[in-house]
Structure 1
Amino acid sequence: MNLQKFSPWNWFKSESRGEAPVASPAPERPLPPALQLHQELDRWMDETLSRFGMPTLGQRFAEPPTLLRPSIDIREDDSAYRISIEVPGVDEQDVKLTLDERRLIVEGEKRQEQVEEEGRYRRVERSYGSFCRVLDLPEDAKAEEIQASFAKGVLTITVPRDEARPSRRRQIPIQ
């Protein structure tokens, strides 16, 4: 279940806009109506799945992705937003955090190699991949006071809130 739809602020709107489906080249001759309907349904399904952050039909049957997608937890209280990003196996120096206007960009690269030698036997396992997550900051975020820390494979970002800006959220009484 995607709990993002229940969130009052869409932290991932820039990420979802970047996942537009790629248009296929126009065929040289007109397609039969049944095939046109099939392509239109595939396109519609891909758009719907990508809106919910799910892999599209084309992605499900393609090669396994080389791009990592770390899990993100966002908590808020009256004073700050706390963002935790799990990046196991990634070193602190391989993570980059930048602010572009009101977008927080987290990029990194995982490089891991394990070598096991025993007698005439040698086994090498390598794991490589990169990731990029883009978070849109809410209006009450103090972008100039963002702090980050890294410990045990978890990047923790603290975004202070501006108490001077009133929250648009209010509780509605149930009758």
Structure 2
Amino acid sequence: MTITLIAAAAENNALGKDNQLVWHLPDDFKRFKKLTSGHHIIMGRKTLESMNGPLPNRTNIVITRKEDYTYQGCTIVHSLEEALKACPQNEEVFVIGGGEIYKQALDIADKIELTRVHTTIDDADTFFPEIDKEKWHLTEEEYHPKDEKHKFDFTYKTWIKK
């Protein structure tokens, strides 16, 4: 199994505020959809609820501490370990958030698909963990300038564990 964290984070690692993303980047959404479609995706309950439900064409696995939690179209588990056991062992699995789930998964991840949004969000309340450059190697970078559809410049970065 290949475990890939996929996220869009500001220069200060901000992911969002009040359970919402703080930017709208259509090209990043397209890339996210292209990379994750047909795969198992793992997320926390708040991430699921912020998206107004499961993502189509993916197997949605949701981690929650709430024992009796259910959500139609999702597999509900109570730990990252349980989530990984619910995934095929010979495929790439994507961890899509939020901040707590990324933190738990960072040490066991094989790859990070990070969209670095070139801004700082001072009042964010959710953050992506710091990438330790001693443990991770940057293998690809693709820069996108801001335009009429994108308020911020951003760079796709692919990190592979050393």
Q: TM-score, normalised by structure 2?
A: 0.25
Q: Which has the larger radius of gyration?
A: 1
